[in-house]
Structure 1
Amino acid sequence: MIMISKLTKSYGVNEIFNNVSFSIPDGRHIGLIGVNGSGKTTLLNILSGNEYFEKGEIAGIKNKTIGYLPQIPILPEELTVYQYMLLSFEKLLNLKEEMESEKDSIKQHLLNEQFEHLGGNLIESRVGKVCYFLNISEELKKQKISSISGGEKSRILLAHILLSEPDIILLDEPTNHLDIEGIIFLENFLKSYKGTFIVVSHDRQFLNNCVNYIYYIENKAIKIYKGNYDKFETEYEHERQRLIKMHKQQTEYIKETEEFIRKHIAGQNTKQAQSRIKRLEKLRHIKLPKKHSAPAFKWNETFRSGNKVLHIENLSFSYGSRKILSNINFNVYAGQKIAVIGKNGAGKTTILKLINGELTPSSGNIIKGSNINIGYYRQDFHFIENEKTLLEIFLNDTEHFTIGEARSKLALAGFFADDIEKKWSDLSGGEKAKYMILKLTVEKPNLLLLDEPSNHLDIQSVKYLINMLNIFSGTIIFTSHDRSLIKNVATDVIFIKDGNLETFDVSGIDTAFNEIITPIQKRKPVSGKKPDRKRQVRIIKASIREIENEIDEIEKRISEIDRKFADPRNNSDYNKLNNLVREKKQLENKIKILYNKYESKIEELSLYES
């Protein structure tokens, strides 16, 4: 168990935690939540040893292994992705090296048994499985870390952590750079994880599916709630209503008591009045729960576009020799709110950049309708100068606002007083995201292109964003991995797969999700007809899932046998031990065969998907 006692942390005059004490029992699965700027990332940095704190003590963490995924990962740039993956198995690889250099055949045999017992022969298969679900391709594995994007670095560090299986996993917005399939894989991994993890996430459904405790940061303190996010929200609202009721009753009591004192302090009931004065002095005042100010963005009125907003005709696009989009056709009409989904690298952001004119099609046309004014929200904010203040950036972006008007607008996004003098580099990811949304509202767009707009926002801000997008009178095309946002905003869904598009109306969103995350049941091809490529991919994926399920069951049984070996009650039962040894050997042989099958299926899949 980790014990945090009287923790105090500040940034200059801004106090984040004040004398906070709480515990983290072993094996607890924690969702860490709070409004943007409340200290979620700060706490993860403190627990990982990457940030100091002024006062307090953290006990029980010193000898634990920690895997930390920050929002901006720093990795060894000189290594290839695959070399970095293998660092997850450093002890096993050292053991393999020792085994290979050992001259004594008996010692070598013993080292080999130890290597196999610790899962050394499964290294390649484990790496293959995690890389498959986190969309780390064979080509990416060969690249140097110095040459890859920030999103790819996040996925690679996440894969390294999952393969390392540390005592404690700390994840800061892990779903930001994952596709839906990757999110489901991570959910399932965390649900069955035997160690402790703490995750910061804006994705409500993700938290509901994998945490069993919520640690809520509010008023420089931490309050603990048992259950997932939905349960927390219900309990928190009940608490808030109860405090409001108690505060009202106390206010009425104080008013009546003060009236009694005023009437009787100089009369016959002076003693009673004085007694009530003492009671009021000792009274512990109930504070109203703090109501967090949600952003108050308002869409500025804009002109209507024509009915046909976009006509996309025979559009193809390639990065070098890699084809991203192949001869796609679709129309966008006024008022549609289209979610673009698909695996990482499928071309979701590419479509937005093509529509915005930042990329030129390899072939085909994008024809814009009449009176189109585009507002574009990007995934990253690196194009803004870090040393400029928020006020300077806003005045530069908008030009026609006075300083007073700019202050009023920034206040709508929750930036008051000293906030507007903060440098861009000092803002949290959530604060940057809120600014970029505010900027959109003053640009008066009637076509919004939004690339992962919920990334970096806290859950309350995501709820506000959903309402805001629902009342927008124009047209929206957005990418998102946030299932709740898609279900609550989209009228239509575009699913990109293998360079092609499938379209669904709002009622087909779950079907689109299932295309990504659920294997289609294997069917025999119709006699005399060659099975099509898409169908073959689905069949192979179904086989992969079946193999994985079988491997999971065998690994559980091997763990069970190992526990029986460790039970001293079985030491004298030689028949039982011999049977267990025999069964384990059979299972280990079977799992080797399954992993070989798994690798060949992954290879087969890569041929169909390339």
Structure 2
Amino acid sequence: MKLQASNIYKSYGAQDVLSGANLTVKGNEKIALVGRNGCGKTTLMKIICRIEEPDQGSVVMASGTRLGYLSQITFEDEQRTVYEELLTVFEELTTLQARLESQALVLEKDHSDQQLEKYEKLQTRFEALGGYDYEYELKNVFFHFQFEEADLHKKLEEFSSGQRTRIGLVKLLLTKPDILLLDEPTNHLDIESIEWLEGYIKHYPGAVILVSHDRMFLDHVVDEIVEIEFGKTMRFPGSYSHYVKAKEEYIEKNHEAFLRQQEEIERISALIEKFRYKKNKAAFAQSKIKYLDRMEKIEDVKTDQSRMKAHFSSARKGGKRVLETEGLKVGYDTILSTVDLTVMKGDRLGIVGPNGIGKSTFIKTLMEKIPSLGGYFHFGHQIDVGYFDQDSAQITSDKTVIDTLWDNFPMIDQTQIRNTLAAFLFTQDEVFKEVYNLSGGEKVRLALACLMLEHDNVLLLDEPTNHLDIPSKEALEKALEDYDGTILFVSHDRMFLKKMANRIMEMGPQCKVYNINYEEYLEKKGTGELAEAKKEIKEVSKQEVRSSKLTFNEEKAIKNRIAKLEKLLEEADADLESLRELRFEPEYYQDYRKMEELDAQIDDKHNEIAALTKEWEEKMIRLEGEE
């Protein structure tokens, strides 16, 4: 057992956050903490990391276990370059490397066996610690978080807070602690980076405890869910989707058992009342009283039933042709993208592309918050446009929640204002909170409440699910599915894209529009023109690799790793074939649960092969650059 948090209680003033929470890490599990915003997920992580103390309970770790938590990653000197900062993770290796280089100089003058043996010992230690791979690993992880080679040589102070958070995440991943704790690791990452992080965490050699509201990320990464509700924890093995079904089944079965027990208690209580005062039956009645006292009572499951109940509708129908752009050039000082687009009534256009390519800039241009750099756009007849800004979670205002809504809609009576706020989970005294005291999720809900009351027939949404917990995301999806207008939206939430989009616009220097849903778009990415685009990207990456010449030792290490990867791939293919053959064994095909477990093992093996193949390809590209 690596870690055990037992019977954890934590309160802040009168608010009880954790009330007997438990968490166990036995091996290399990938565990997700799930629950509503404010349920205590981050609090439990901080208690595990000893950033906060529990009011009651204990956290025990195996001797020598190393924890890594993103908020603990700090930069002592922001004058350092990123490369210098990330190298601090490999301090032992860089020290060994310096000693090796120094010993090599000694060998040039002194060829004695003693000096040669000293060099060989240093080299063996250096190689065993991954000395010929660490620089490649550093760059490999760094480049997957939307950074370039030039960024390595910039000072930390030159980066935004969001970029510094990503650099901190890179540093944390490179430290490889025994237990990795991640709180919303996909925030502000583009889809490509999220997908890479999924593979990294899935095959991480240690345990991972994470908090995320990205449902697809959870499905792809975790093998255990720990739900926090009303301060207590409940463990569910499997993915997030499996947890959703298992929780429903648990509630249903528990409720049935509760009702059966209540019937039994009523039946026995009636017998006791009937016979307790009859001399010849008094002993029988007493035995039944003792039986009830000893009975382990089943509690009906208490669940949080509060749900956001949004309902978006349009006041005017508007024309069929909603938006036209022709050669619309978006950007600030330089052109990021050129957009040629026609949007028709009822479209749900999902806008995708890497960070920095101009997705939010395009939306801001349509809202005339920034000027276009060329071309034109035109909204159709009787089109009313509503806008959700991804910066809504950063709003600071001295106004209360209720005044914010009322000031925007002074013609609406108090009852409707209160009902609207209640639909967005602002009830009782919460409506009198100042906006600056709200959490990011609460500010987003308030912005959505304002948007709902506008009754526009076109919605421009820029990352509307950021900061929302999963129940609120699902409520927003339902509201938008029922909406009678047109939606253009930017999102990195793949589940949201999957549920909402019926068209996809891929932002790039020249935008491409696909009249298909998100799943079909992903399938198309593997063929045709999108495959050509990926091929071009790969060619660019090859050229970048070639620009960095390998040393003899680096080339040797890469060749060794390629040989190891080929051996691992051979073994993994054999394992996969063995697992597939088990499907035809009666022990499995006659047992649904065993077959389900086997399918999960086969999926894991496929993922392992994919990760090994990807690394093999990267190493081969690196090596080919030298030939």
Distance in 2 (CA, whole Å) between partners of 1:549 and 1:371 is 62
Distance in 2 (CA, whole Å) between partners of 1:78 and 1:544 is 27
Would the aligned equivalents of 1:9 and 1:15 in 2 still touch at CA under 8 Å?
Answer: yes
Distance of aligned partners of 1:522 and 1:471 in 2 relative to their CA distance in 1, 3 Å threshold: closer
Check if 1:465 corresponds to 2:476. yes
> What SS does the corresponding residue of 1:141 show, helix, strand or coil?
helix
Q: Deviations over 1:128-168 (max 9, x none)?
A: 32233222123433443333334323332222222222212
Distance in 2 (CA, whole Å) between partners of 1:402 and 1:315 is 42
Q: Deviations over 1:6-39 (max 9, x none)?
A: 2111121111111333311131111211122111
Distance of aligned partners of 1:376 and 1:80 in 2 relative to their CA distance in 1, 3 Å threshold: farther
In the TM superposition, 1:248-287 aligns within 5 A as: 248-256=259-267, 271=282, 284-287=297-300
Q: Which residue is 1:173 aligned to?
A: 184
**Once the 2 structures are TM-superposed, how far is the Cα of residue 519 of structure 1 from its aligned partner?**
8.8
Check if 1:247 corresponds to 2:264. no
Distance in 2 (CA, whole Å) between partners of 1:393 and 1:86 is 48
**Once the 2 structures are TM-superposed, how far is the Cα of residue 595 of structure 1 from its aligned partner?**
5.3
Q: 1:117 aligns with which of 122, 128, 133?
A: 128
Distance in 2 (CA, whole Å) between partners of 1:73 and 1:349 is 29
Q: Deviations over 1:314-373 (max 9, x none)?
A: 11133334x3113x2111111100101112222211111111211211111121223333
Letter in 1 for 2:506: F
Percent identity between matched residues is 30
467-476 vs 275-284, greater mean Cα deviation: 275-284
**Once the 2 structures are TM-superposed, how far is the Cα of residue 239 of structure 1 from its aligned partner?**
0.8
Q: Which residue is 1:303 aligned to?
A: 316
Distance of aligned partners of 1:151 and 1:309 in 2 relative to their CA distance in 1, 3 Å threshold: farther
453-462 vs 481-490, greater mean Cα deviation: 453-462
Distance in 1 (CA, whole Å) between partners of 2:472 and 2:75 is 31
Would the aligned equivalents of 2:5 and 2:48 in 1 still touch at CA under 8 Å?
Answer: no
In the TM superposition, 1:556-595 aligns within 5 A as: 556=565
Distance of aligned partners of 1:414 and 1:534 in 2 relative to their CA distance in 1, 3 Å threshold: closer
Q: What RMSD, in angstroms, separates the aligned Cα atoms of the two structures?
A: 3.8
Would the aligned equivalents of 2:393 and 2:467 in 1 still touch at CA under 8 Å?
Answer: no
Distance in 2 (CA, whole Å) between partners of 1:398 and 1:138 is 50
Q: Which residue is 1:162 aligned to?
A: 173
Distance in 2 (CA, whole Å) between partners of 1:23 and 1:354 is 50
Distance in 2 (CA, whole Å) between partners of 1:292 and 1:226 is 23
3-12 vs 150-159, greater mean Cα deviation: 150-159
Would the aligned equivalents of 2:69 and 2:172 in 1 still touch at CA under 8 Å?
Answer: yes
Q: Which residue is 1:513 aligned to?
A: 522
Q: 1:503 aligns with which of 491, 513, 523?
A: 513
In the TM superposition, 1:172-251 aligns within 5 A as: 172-251=183-262
Would the aligned equivalents of 1:390 and 1:421 in 2 still touch at CA under 8 Å?
Answer: yes
Query: Structure 1 length normalisation: TM-score?
Result: 0.80
> What SS does the corresponding residue of 2:133 show, helix, strand or coil?
helix
Would the aligned equivalents of 2:558 and 2:623 in 1 still touch at CA under 8 Å?
Answer: no
Distance in 2 (CA, whole Å) between partners of 1:222 and 1:388 is 36
Would the aligned equivalents of 1:7 and 1:20 in 2 still touch at CA under 8 Å?
Answer: yes
Distance of aligned partners of 1:515 and 1:150 in 2 relative to their CA distance in 1, 3 Å threshold: farther
Check if 1:598 corresponds to 2:626. no
Distance of aligned partners of 1:57 and 1:422 in 2 relative to their CA distance in 1, 3 Å threshold: farther
Q: Deviations over 1:477-529 (max 9, x none)?
A: 111222222121111011123x111111235x34533576x598999xxxxxx
Q: Which residue is 1:40 aligned to?
A: 41
Distance in 1 (CA, whole Å) between partners of 2:490 and 2:257 is 45
> What SS does the corresponding residue of 1:215 show, helix, strand or coil?
strand
Check if 1:12 corresponds to 2:36. no
Would the aligned equivalents of 1:8 and 1:20 in 2 still touch at CA under 8 Å?
Answer: yes
Distance in 2 (CA, whole Å) between partners of 1:474 and 1:338 is 12
Distance of aligned partners of 1:302 and 1:45 in 2 relative to their CA distance in 1, 3 Å threshold: farther
Q: Deviations over 1:61-118 (max 9, x none)?
A: 6743333235x98655443333333333233223334444567543455434433332
Distance in 1 (CA, whole Å) between partners of 2:529 and 2:485 is 40
Distance in 2 (CA, whole Å) between partners of 1:247 and 1:129 is 54
Q: Which residue is 1:325 aligned to?
A: 337
Would the aligned equivalents of 1:379 and 1:451 in 2 still touch at CA under 8 Å?
Answer: yes
Would the aligned equivalents of 1:522 and 1:539 in 2 still touch at CA under 8 Å?
Answer: no
**Once the 2 structures are TM-superposed, how far is the Cα of residue 475 of structure 1 from its aligned partner?**
0.9
Q: Which residue is 2:597 aligned to?
A: none
Q: Deviations over 1:253-282 (max 9, x none)?
A: 455556666777778998466766666666
Would the aligned equivalents of 1:125 and 1:599 in 2 still touch at CA under 8 Å?
Answer: no
Number of residue pairs matched by the alignment: 557
Q: Which residue is 1:572 aligned to?
A: none
Distance of aligned partners of 1:379 and 1:73 in 2 relative to their CA distance in 1, 3 Å threshold: farther
Q: Which residue is 1:564 aligned to?
A: none
In structure 1, stretches of 5+ residues that fail to align are 524-531, 561-590, 604-610
Q: Which residue is 2:536 aligned to?
A: 536
In the TM superposition, 1:323-402 aligns within 5 A as: 323-326=335-338, 328-381=339-392, 383-385=394-396, 389-400=400-411
> What SS does the corresponding residue of 2:186 show, helix, strand or coil?
helix
Q: Which residue is 1:449 aligned to?
A: 460
Q: Deviations over 1:445-485 (max 9, x none)?
A: 22212222222223333222221211111111111222222
**Once the 2 structures are TM-superposed, how far is the Cα of residue 416 of structure 1 from its aligned partner?**
2.6
Q: Which residue is 1:608 aligned to?
A: none
Query: Structure 2 length normalisation: TM-score?
Result: 0.78
In the TM superposition, 1:118-133 aligns within 5 A as: 118-133=129-144
Distance of aligned partners of 1:265 and 1:56 in 2 relative to their CA distance in 1, 3 Å threshold: closer
Distance in 2 (CA, whole Å) between partners of 1:338 and 1:378 is 17
Distance in 2 (CA, whole Å) between partners of 1:361 and 1:196 is 48
Would the aligned equivalents of 1:314 and 1:363 in 2 still touch at CA under 8 Å?
Answer: yes
Distance in 2 (CA, whole Å) between partners of 1:513 and 1:376 is 27
Q: Which residue is 1:570 aligned to?
A: none
389-398 vs 41-50, greater mean Cα deviation: 389-398
Distance of aligned partners of 1:270 and 1:413 in 2 relative to their CA distance in 1, 3 Å threshold: farther
Distance of aligned partners of 1:506 and 1:5 in 2 relative to their CA distance in 1, 3 Å threshold: same
Would the aligned equivalents of 2:542 and 2:621 in 1 still touch at CA under 8 Å?
Answer: no
Check if 1:477 corresponds to 2:478. no
> What SS does the corresponding residue of 1:380 show, helix, strand or coil?
helix
> What SS does the corresponding residue of 1:176 show, helix, strand or coil?
coil
Would the aligned equivalents of 1:65 and 1:167 in 2 still touch at CA under 8 Å?
Answer: yes
Letter in 1 for 2:241: D
Distance of aligned partners of 1:464 and 1:269 in 2 relative to their CA distance in 1, 3 Å threshold: farther
Distance in 2 (CA, whole Å) between partners of 1:223 and 1:68 is 23
366-375 vs 31-40, greater mean Cα deviation: 366-375
Distance in 2 (CA, whole Å) between partners of 1:307 and 1:593 is 48
> What SS does the corresponding residue of 2:316 show, helix, strand or coil?
coil
Q: Deviations over 1:49-71 (max 9, x none)?
A: 3333222221116743333235x
453-462 vs 164-173, greater mean Cα deviation: 453-462
**Once the 2 structures are TM-superposed, how far is the Cα of residue 559 of structure 1 from its aligned partner?**
9.9
Would the aligned equivalents of 1:41 and 1:172 in 2 still touch at CA under 8 Å?
Answer: yes
In structure 2, stretches of 5+ residues that fail to align are 108-114, 546-554, 570-614
Distance in 1 (CA, whole Å) between partners of 2:425 and 2:290 is 41
Distance of aligned partners of 1:260 and 1:453 in 2 relative to their CA distance in 1, 3 Å threshold: same
Distance in 1 (CA, whole Å) between partners of 2:68 and 2:245 is 32
Q: Deviations over 1:528-578 (max 9, x none)?
A: xxxx98753355669999x99988654557999xxxxxxxxxxxxxxxxxx
Distance in 1 (CA, whole Å) between partners of 2:275 and 2:85 is 80
